[in-house]
Amino acid sequence: MSYDHLIVQQQGYVLTVVLNRPKALNALNRQLLSEFNQVLDQFEHDASIRLLVVTGAGEKAFCAGADIKELADLSALEMKEFLSHGQRVFRRLELIRKPSIAAVNGVAVGGGFELSLACSLRIASESASFGLPEARLGMIPGYGGTQRLPRIIGKGKALELMLSGKRISAEEAYRAGIVNAVAAVDLLDQTVRQWAESICANSPVSIRMILEAVDIGGSLAMDNALALETSLDALAAGSLDKREGFAAFLEKRSPNFEGK
Ligand code: CAA
């Protein structure tokens, strides 16, 4: 499958999608988001894919957010549809219950930052920067930023970023708990690959249950969340992966998980 605004390639268990509008700093227009949604079809249904990496083309940007040129003249109703479309695509990424890593290779602002927040993990190059400048445009973060960022780093720092609209460095993002790791510019791909491979070596069943427990449990009262955790763990215990994981440990060898 070929796309106008994305480059997609699979290596081993890992599917990489490159946002490919470098002249517009990989800004998200409707077509790019629709194409991204098609990639999610492949990610969801192809059992040979265990993890998605999202990154940006060029050396400057991961993604500069929603395409401001496309947004400029929208009516309120058209804007509602534009925002819901992006929200649905980003939410779907979380609901697939396979992990994703944003490889943030440059500027990640507005909807671009929000896309990275919908990924399970974020790994940034030293040249990356992060910001939610929507208040400077008379808008608010509308691709999930007001909800996901406080859940990831807490309300205080999230409000600091949203209210100021300022951009912070990869290092500050690391200290704030936004990114999981920072790599030298020329080591970003290699670092992301190492993280991806170590995750893909684990049981896909366990990973699915962990993502579900954290996502659903996060909006439940503690007792209900713990009950969910028990049910998901018991479900995992019935899998072939659990049998393989225990056998491998007892036989002192590496497990070979099939995700069943
Ligand atoms: N949409 C469309 N085009 C964009 C864009 C965007 N979000 N961001 C950058 N571009 C375009 C610029 O218009 C420019 O194109 P031209 O060469 O044709 O003029 C090109 O990309 C390069 O941009 P700059 O010259 O501005 O590059 P810079 O290095 O000087 O600055 C930047 C980089 C600080 C990211 C700056 O481009 C910028 O502030 N961009 C806008 C970021 C922004 O406000 N994003 C939020 C969008 S709203 C949103 O995302 C809402 C939501 O939550 C859903």
Model confidence pLDDT, tens digit, residues 48-58: 999 999 999 99
- The reported pLDDT for the residue numbered 111 is 98
- The reported pLDDT for the residue numbered 115 is 98
In 3-state terms, what secondary structure has residue 233?
helix
78 belongs to the catalytic site: no
In ligand 1, the atom with minimum distance to the C-alpha of 60 is: 29
CATH architecture observed for domain 6-200:
Alpha-Beta Complex (3.90)
114 belongs to the catalytic site: yes
pTM of full prediction above 0.85: yes
Which segments of the chain belong to CATH 3.90.226.10? 6-200
Model confidence pLDDT, tens digit, residues 167-188: 999 999 999 999 999 999 999 9
- The reported pLDDT for the residue numbered 1 is 81
> Selecting from 1.10.12, 1.10.357, 3.40.91, 2.40.160, what CATH number does the domain 204-251 have?
1.10.12
User: Which of the following is catalytic: 44, 59, 126, 134?
Assistant: 134
* Positions of the chain with pLDDT lower than 70, given as ranges: none
Which segments of the chain belong to CATH 1.10.12? 204-251
Please list every protein residue whose CB sits less than 6 Å from any atom of ligand 1. 24-25, 27, 64-69, 83, 86, 107, 109-111, 114, 133-134, 137, 139, 141-143, 145
**Cα→Cα distances 195→100, 107, 188, 244, Å:** 11, 22, 11, 22
In ligand 1, the atom with minimum distance to the C-alpha of 111 is: 50
Beta-sheet strands, E only, within the chain = 6-11, 14-19, 51-56, 61-63, 100-104, 107-109, 121-125, 129-131, 167-169, 181-183
User: Which of the following is catalytic: 44, 78, 114, 258?
Assistant: 114
Contacts of 192 (CB under 8 A, 6+ apart): 53, 55, 101, 103, 123, 183
Model confidence pLDDT, tens digit, residues 126-162: 999 999 999 999 999 999 999 999 999 999 999 999 9
Give residue 88 CA to ligand 1 midpoint distance, Å.
Answer: 23
